[in-house]
Amino acid sequence: MSSYLRHFIAILMWCILVPKSGDDVKYLKSAWQKTNEKKLLIDLKEDYGFSKALSRSLVHLMREHIDENYGNLRKDYQVVYHPVSANEPPGKSLDELRKVSVSLTVFDTEDERVLRECGPSGLRKHRIVRLTNEAYDQGGLLVQEDLALLLTTSVRSIRRDIKELKEEGITIPTRGAIQDIGPTISHKTQIVELYLKGYEYTDIELRTHHTGDAIKRYIKAFSKVLFLHRSGYSPVEIRELTDLSEKVVSEYLELYNKYEDIGRERISQIMEPIQIEFQKKKGGVGV
């Protein structure tokens, strides 16, 4: 293997394996400037003499390849699945539909509590909500047959559960549903909006079939987006620094514009902790 090829592979592995920087706001701007992509761009320009335009094109191509093949490494209790891309229009045969790779959580520590309190049917609905939204957030759409396979049950049971969830006012983003109603906002945004409207955690849990811990995570992520936005960061920088999808960042900013006045009290409540956290961390490294 040539030294050129070894060095090129080393750069690729560096991009894949090096962990992301912390999100201490004092260093967010410099951290963003030191991202793996920035490092690779400089290496291609300085070490190999590629033009700026060619270097950017290569970085973009490598990022797509890495995201497609390594970006969905599963965590504990997750599986890598390949549903149909959310961008595929109706009318194509199954063989023609483009698939995407997504990580789906088949078991979560909260599932035990849901089973105990809601029984097997309640747990199945809880998992349907989680799996479909995880896939949708990653650019994929499950169908009822996918859910039956993942949850080891019948399509009839899945169809009945989705119907009951719909009657409860819960949107399940399957391929069929999205084709009928068009693109919808993410479940994270739906949950944050309920909070901004004045609903309490227990009410949101009942309405969305999400756990209290999950709801708190979404609200904290929303507060980080607002903090960065108010600090002058662009949506692209916010996406890089929070590790949220472009879709979710955009929805959170739209939600902020919508509730900036009518939801001022709730926004102040969720912003206070992150502002205090930032003041405590000032001069430190990472959050």
The more confidently predicted of residues 125 and 11 is 125
* pLDDT at residue 68 in the model: 57
Q: Which helix (H) or strand (E) segment is 41 a member of? A: helix 36-48
Strands (E), the chain: 78-81, 84-85, 102-105, 140-141
pLDDT for 196 beyond 60: yes
CB distance 168 to 111 below 8 Å: no
Tell me the pLDDT band of 73, cut-offs 50, 70 and 90. low
pLDDT for 286 beyond 50: no
Tell me the pLDDT band of 64, cut-offs 50, 70 and 90. low
Contacting residues for 81 by C-beta, under 8 A, at least 6 apart: 101, 102, 103, 104, 135, 140, 146, 150
* pLDDT at residue 33 in the model: 43
3-17, 101-115, 125-139, 230-244: the lowest-pLDDT one: 3-17
* pLDDT at residue 279 in the model: 63
The more confidently predicted of residues 281 and 272 is 272
Average pLDDT of span 70-78 = 65
How far lies 63's CA from each of 37, 44, 77, 234, 257, in Å?
8, 14, 26, 21, 32
> For residue 205, how far is the Cα from the chain centroid?
19
CA atoms within 13 A on the CB side of 157: 16
57-61, 194-198, 263-267: the lowest-pLDDT one: 57-61
Average pLDDT of span 166-171 = 83
* pLDDT at residue 287 in the model: 41
